[in-house]
Amino acid sequence: MEDRYPECWLEHRVSYGETDAMGVVYHAEYIHFFERSRGELCRTCGLPYADIEAGGFMLPVKEVHCLYRSPARYDDLICIFVRVSEIRKASVRFEYAIYDASRTRLLCEGMTLHAFVDRSGRPVAIPGWIREVLDGSRAAPASL
Amino acid sequence: MEDRYPECWLEHRVSYGETDAMGVVYHAEYIHFFERSRGELCRTCGLPYADIEAGGFMLPVKEVHCLYRSPARYDDLICIFVRVSEIRKASVRFEYAIYDASRTRLLCEGMTLHAFVDRSGRPVAIPGWIREVLDGSRAAPASL
Amino acid sequence: MEDRYPECWLEHRVSYGETDAMGVVYHAEYIHFFERSRGELCRTCGLPYADIEAGGFMLPVKEVHCLYRSPARYDDLICIFVRVSEIRKASVRFEYAIYDASRTRLLCEGMTLHAFVDRSGRPVAIPGWIREVLDGSRAAPASL
Amino acid sequence: MEDRYPECWLEHRVSYGETDAMGVVYHAEYIHFFERSRGELCRTCGLPYADIEAGGFMLPVKEVHCLYRSPARYDDLICIFVRVSEIRKASVRFEYAIYDASRTRLLCEGMTLHAFVDRSGRPVAIPGWIREVLDGSRAAPASL
């Protein structure tokens, strides 16, 4: 049941270093915003990405797609929505939608696809203790 | 005739700042590599992007797609192939393929779609003096 | 009285894109952290930097100094302390100290010196309405 | 004899992603330029930094100082001069000067100080095979 898949919001303040000479946020920075929200999602699920790596797994990005709808500017507070959108045997897909501070104006939407690999970089099946967090079947630990 | 569309190669040395804690080039950096090669293509066509902006036009990125095939690492010399792949009334599309130094191992491939806008940000038809460069019907100036 | 000069703290979560192949935050990223905290300081003083630019002034960086004490890593929550440390006729200096989440382990300290320039880039004396915010003699607006 | 210390030049084309909303190169990017030139210097000396790391040593940055003289802009070709300026028991210092394409207008100058550490991060004395390259007493291999 996909609708159980975890999701969350992350707020982010646009820095000067994220802008370019057009006076708006440089397009590659949105890929960083995706990553920030993905890390936040893992953390809120009780599975910080650092723990996944400590457990011997990495999730390298295999594909990125991004549609730019409206520009963000310096000092804007932006709101990044992220959710797990698909879990396969050895890969996971996240979807993103970035809004302005009022969460009404869509700035950007996109997705990233990640492989599961071990420390040597070989693709591996997603282990159960990670899968049950990503698919929302195991609640985040109470301590969080 | 699409096969007349301009294309070029750009070599780039991977810096430490472009890597991440996985020991490879961070995925968003490839979007920067795309941009570097696009700028090089415009320059080799005799139409530096800075001249396009000086002429009152900008080409904001509307869409990015990127497939990651094999990681690049610190100090690698990478070879970026770029070509104009489609020209519409008010947009242009570029395609990219990034290889290792031997140009045999594919690291990444992707595309970017750009709108043509004027200084106020309104979409405009591509002016003739830019179109004839992008579609290859006007040769680059002899001085280049 | 320098001790009235404004100061503030900003928390920041380290992203993967801010790390490098050594497994720690890339050294140039701390300069971005300085900038983020500087923007936060201006905002908490009731004078967002975007308003300074809208008022016709810019504060380009003329000098940066940074001492690295201890590395930060992916997903670390870091705490950035910033204060105005010196105000001259046409320049302002900020000092920074970045700590771990417990605010006990010093990661990095540094300073930036900024010129005041007008839209054409010419150095100008700091206007009164900005000076009295930077030196702490005018409280932030009640609305903040 | 300090005047034997290695030095070199590196050319670099400014990308759009390196600019900011002021229309010039963002100040933290110069720290990346320093790093690019340092890597080039090691390479031209016959000692690529990747080989130093493969040998079990790392040179984390302990200090950065940077003076900004004149801004660089998108598409500018900049020329980065780098030299080893001091070698101590367990640290090495590099100096930098960045010029425009004509190598007459100074854009930025600075220095970085680096510790020598082993894989566990402990400071160590610079091993002889690295020291003799950094101090210029051993010529680069003929193959380069």
List, in sequence order, the alpha helices (H) in A22-127: 29-44, 49-54
**What does the DSSP 8-state code read for residue C123?**
B
Q: Which residues of C touch D (CB under 8 A)?
A: 22, 24, 27-29, 31-32, 35, 58, 60-68, 71
Mean pLDDT taken over chain A: 93
Strand order in the sheet with C61-68: C7-13, C77-87, C91-99, C106-115, C61-68, D61-68, D106-115, D91-99, D77-87, D7-13
pLDDT at C101 over 60: yes
String of DSSP letters for D24-84: SB-TTHHHHHHHHHHHHHHHHTT--HHHHHHTTEE--EEEEEEEE-S---TT-EEEEEEEE
pLDDT for position A139: 66
The pLDDT tens digits for A64-102 are: 999 999 999 999 999 999 999 999 999 999 999 999 999
Rg for chain B, CA atoms, rounded: 16
Q: Residues A7, A82: contact at Cβ < 8 Å? A: yes
pLDDT at D132 over 90: yes
Q: Which residues of D touch C60 (CB under 8 A)?
A: 22, 24, 27, 68, 71
Q: Residues D140, D89: contact at Cβ < 8 Å? A: no
Q: Which residues of C touch B (CB under 8 A)?
A: 16-17, 19-24, 26, 28, 73-74
Mapped onto helix, strand or coil, the DSSP state of residue A78 is strand
Judged by CB atoms closer than 8 Å, whether chains meet at D36 and B13 is answered as yes
The pLDDT tens digits for B4-63 are: 899 999 999 999 999 999 999 999 999 999 999 999 999 999 999 999 999 999 999 999
Judged by CB atoms closer than 8 Å, whether chains meet at A28 and B31 is answered as yes
List, in sequence order, the alpha helices (H) in B11-114: 29-44, 49-54
Nearest in space to D22 (alpha carbons), one of C120, A130, B103, B142: C120
Catalytic residues of C: 20
- pTM, 2 dp: 0.95
pLDDT for position B4: 83
pLDDT for position D1: 47
ipTM metric: 0.94
CATH tag, D2-134: 3.10.129.10
**Bridging pattern class, strands D61-68 and D106-115:** antiparallel
The pLDDT tens digits for C114-141 are: 999 999 999 999 999 999 999 998 765 5
The pLDDT tens digits for B83-129 are: 999 999 999 999 999 999 999 999 999 999 999 999 999 999 999 99
pLDDT for position A54: 93
pLDDT at A11 over 90: yes
Q: Write down the domain spans for chain C.
A: 2-134
The pLDDT tens digits for A123-138 are: 999 999 999 999 998 7
